[in-house]
Amino acid sequence: MLAVGIAVAISVLVGSIANIALPTIARDMNVTPAESIWVVNSYQLAVTVCLMPCASLGDVYGHRRVYIWGLAFYTLGSLICAIAPTMPILIAARVLQGLGGAGIMSVNGALIRFIFPRAQLGRGVGYNVLVVAASSAAGPSVAAAIMAVGSWPWLFAVQVPFGVLSWWLSLRYLPPSPASGHKFDPVSAVLNAIALGTFIPGLDGIGRGQSGTMILAELAIGVIVGTIFVRRQLTLRAPMLPVDLFRRPVFALSVATATCVHGAAMITLISLPFYFQYVEGMSPIEIGLLITPWPAVLVVVGPIAGRLADRYPAGLLGGLGLAVMTCGLLLVLFMPEHVSRLDIAWRMAVCGTGFGFFQSPNNRLLIGSAPPDRAGAGSGMVSTARLVGQTTGSALVAVVFGLTHNAVHPVVLGTHVAIGVAAGFAALGTALSWARLANR
């Protein structure tokens, strides 16, 4: 578990610490801010297109093997990032990091299934959620501390010894998982890469002000190739996209619930900082502190919910948690202007508490409901649902802010509409979670 925890922590940390360093990287590399954004986009895109193929490779060749190779690529990519002399080399190294990150994230849930006995699987998933939450909460502070005493390459260099340590622990202690005997389908991998590699940048282009023609072309290619990809999966015995698992209502409902909830969380965490800065006049440091109660409370709630998930249905725990999250979002929506910092913080904590009681049981169900030879597919869908929800949520925020741009108070109206949409997504997730009780 320590081997898995270290790798998951550094792969989560890299997202937030790279974002904070972008202005400095752009200045040092003598590139425009728009060009520097590819330091983040290249990593996210590489993770996106490699996630399901890596999960499939885990089922075919063993999750331990894919995890160890992913960790090696990630650590090597971190080293190259730290010494990269030019922007193209830095971006290429970030792609390598993304490939390694996909190897880590696609099978870490499956490995937890083989680390913990089935009766304690929820506890293991809860520990994993704790690591992710703690890393997310600590990311900005860790980045600020490193940047205070060193230059931006150290953000990547400090990951190398932790990557090496996790790699050594993984080689020595991670349990083997049986190979499924299925064959890897490279055609599906290519179709998956084209579909996601065009559809997600198309959604992202809405927020970046990309031309309408380019957005429509990317979305059209993504939909057409994605349709071909799904139809191919229906003909395979062990499909890369686990359509066989989607035939189980509880699995399909869990993926749909996760997509809605991660979309709601992303909408909230993107839109609120605009409100806090432009309406409430807060500094970036204050905004970071007020957002922190959401991930921070997961450190406590995640393990508790994981233990409860070993005894109670995910539909029940998730439904209760998402009802609390919906109430928390409504409290944020109807929050008066110029409210105190404490009133903001406890509302964020309510949202985080509800989210935590959903996440651990839902992840346990997705990982545990797949048969052992399809554990990688179940684990991969945990990350895929999160990614699709987050991408959709960020695109919706851009659309809402674009539509309300000409209002009298555009930021106030845009934020209220966005939080209302987030509350609607959370309410839909609540209903989907309750529906799982009838499809156990």
Convert the pLDDT of each residue in 332-350 to its tens digit: 999 887 888 899 989 999 9
Residues 27 and 42 in one domain: yes
CA 267, distance to chain mean position in Å, is 13
Residues 190 and 320 in one domain: no
Residues 2 and 151 in one domain: yes
User: Is the separation of the CB atoms in 329 and 268 below 8 Å?
Assistant: yes
What does each of the 440 residues of the chain score in pLDDT, given as a tens digit?
888 888 888 877 776 666 667 667 888 888 876 577 678 778 878 888 888 888 888 888 888 889 999 999 999 999 999 999 888 999 999 999 989 988 888 888 788 878 888 778 777 877 777 787 677 666 666 776 777 787 888 888 989 999 999 999 999 998 887 776 678 888 999 998 899 888 877 876 766 667 778 888 988 999 999 999 989 988 888 788 888 788 888 888 888 999 999 889 888 887 888 888 788 887 766 777 788 888 888 878 888 888 888 888 888 888 999 999 999 999 999 988 788 889 998 999 999 999 988 888 888 887 777 776 666 777 778 878 887 887 788 778 877 887 787 777 788 888 899 999 999 999 999 999 998 887 66
Consecutive H or E run containing 240: none
d(C-alpha 308, C-alpha 321), whole Å: 12
**Domain termination site, one of 213, 235, 257:** 235
Consecutive H or E run containing 408: none
Boundaries of domain holding 333: 241-440
d(C-alpha 80, C-alpha 65), whole Å: 23
DSSP symbols for 410-433 = HHHHHHHHHHHHHHHHHHHHHHHH
d(C-alpha 419, C-alpha 417), whole Å: 6
User: Is the separation of the CB atoms in 58 and 106 below 8 Å?
Assistant: yes
d(C-alpha 242, C-alpha 370), whole Å: 10
User: Is the separation of the CB atoms in 332 and 351 below 8 Å?
Assistant: yes
Residues 199 and 171 in one domain: no
Max CA-CA distance within the chain?
Answer: 62
Residues 403 and 373 in one domain: yes
Q: State the amino acid at position 322 in one-letter form.
A: L
d(C-alpha 7, C-alpha 17), whole Å: 15
Residues 264 and 225 in one domain: no
Q: Tell which residue, 436, 422, 423, has the closest CA to residue 318.
A: 436
Total domain count, the chain:
3
Residues 36 and 142 in one domain: yes
**Domain termination site, one of 134, 159, 177:** 177
Give 182: exposed, middle or buried? Use CB within 10 Å, 0-12, 13-18, 19+. Answer: middle
Residues 34 and 141 in one domain: yes
Q: State the amino acid at position 119 in one-letter form.
A: A
Helix (H, G, I), strand (E, B) or coil at 409: coil
Give 240: exposed, middle or buried? Use CB within 10 Å, 0-12, 13-18, 19+. Answer: buried
Q: Is the dihedral of CA 404, 410, 411, 412 positive or negative?
A: negative
pTM for the model stands at 0.78
Angle, CA 341 vertex, CA 274 and CA 319 arms, to 5°: 80
User: Is the separation of the CB atoms in 70 and 122 below 8 Å?
Assistant: no
Residues 368 and 302 in one domain: yes
Residues 199 and 172 in one domain: no
> CATH code at 167?
1.20.1250.20
